[in-house]
Amino acid sequence: MGALAMMKQDGVAAQPHPTAAPRLRVEEVSLRYRTPDGGVFSALDKVSFEVPDQQFAVIVGPSGCGKSSLLYLTAGLAEPSDGAIFVGGQKVEGPGADRGMVFQSYTLFPWLTVRENIEFGLKRRGMPAAERKDIVEYYLNEVGLKAFAENYPKQLSGGMMQRVAIARALANDPQILLMDEPFGALDSQTRLQMQQLLLRVWEHSKKTVVFVTHDIDEAILLGDRVYVMGARPGRIKQILDVPIDRPRNLDVVMEPEFIRMKRQILGLLHDDLHEAH
């Protein structure tokens, strides 16, 4: 049974198997860049962590700690200097349709309509038209863009474009969804709307997600776990479970557990700033 059929039947996806292998395994990954003066800059140093299947993992950390680099390596858009990354047990050796990406800057195809953007990967895979149509309709509905299906990206707001990007990534049914500051360019009101939309869409899809953000509220609101990184060189400092039940809405920011966790993450990030000076 396809993922869509399962969602349509049950409303929710199956629970993860307790002994299932992690969906993402980052193993002793280091990344070094050559500097213009011939030296070496260590962007990531022996980073290891796992993300279980169907988990929403959020990475936070100071600017330049290597958050985006980690996503690029996982997407197969760059290669680690040492170590390896495994998605669904397969070593990452280049880009692949098993990893969906949503970036901060809008990456829709400007010459395709909303519908055609969402359909793009399915068509490329040779999926029959009737099946494609069902999937596209499902995701147009999920992200509330049914009325804009025939619009081109230039006729959409920033928030709408990111909704299309999310729909396009999920329509491909990837093993993992990689999101690099997807709401970073949006105004604060639209950002809140998008967080709420993503919470709802994720509850239905239960995809494994790795989401990078600077925003601590966003991290706690969305994540099952928050991976706090430190800089110079980039590394995982601490992994924290978010002790807040789902389904969640924007009101959770007022809960004591939320505030406690926010204070804890701020403390970890401040320690890092002090270590750097």
Q: Which residues bind ligand ATP (CB under 6 A)?
A: 33, 41, 43, 61, 63-69
d(CA 251, CA 248): 8
Minimum distance, C-beta of residue 213 to ligand ATP, in the bound complex (Å): 9
Of 80 and 153, CB closest to ligand ATP: 80
Find the shortest distance in angstroms from Cβ 64 to ligand ATP.
Answer: 4
C-alpha torsion sign, points 257, 259, 264, 265: positive
Shortest distance in whole angstroms from residue 219 CB to ligand ATP:
13
Q: For residues 61 and 174, which CB has a smaller minimum distance to ligand ATP in the complex?
A: 61
Nearer to ligand ATP, 119 or 180 (CB): 180
CB of 47 to ligand ATP, least distance (A): 11
Given the complex with ligand ATP, which of 119 and 181 has the nearer CB atom? 181
Closest C-alpha among 91, 87, 22, 18 to residue 53: 22
Nearer to ligand ATP, 66 or 153 (CB): 66
Q: How many CB atoms lie within 10 A of CB 36?
A: 5
- The nearest distance, CB 265 to ligand ATP, in angstroms, is 15
Phi-psi region of 172 (alpha: psi -120 to 50; beta: other; left: phi over 0): alpha
Q: To the nearest whole angstrom, how small is the minimum distance from the Cβ of residue 212 to ligand ATP? A: 7
Q: Which is nearer to ligand ATP, 200 or 232 (CB)?
A: 232
Residue pair 52/22 in contact by the 8 Å Cβ criterion? yes
Residues forming a β-bridge with 49: 26
Strands (DSSP E) contained in the chain are: 24-34, 40-51, 56-60, 82-87, 90-91, 99-102, 176-180, 208-212, 225-230, 235-241
- Which residue in 219, 114, 210 sits closest to 167, CA to CA? 114
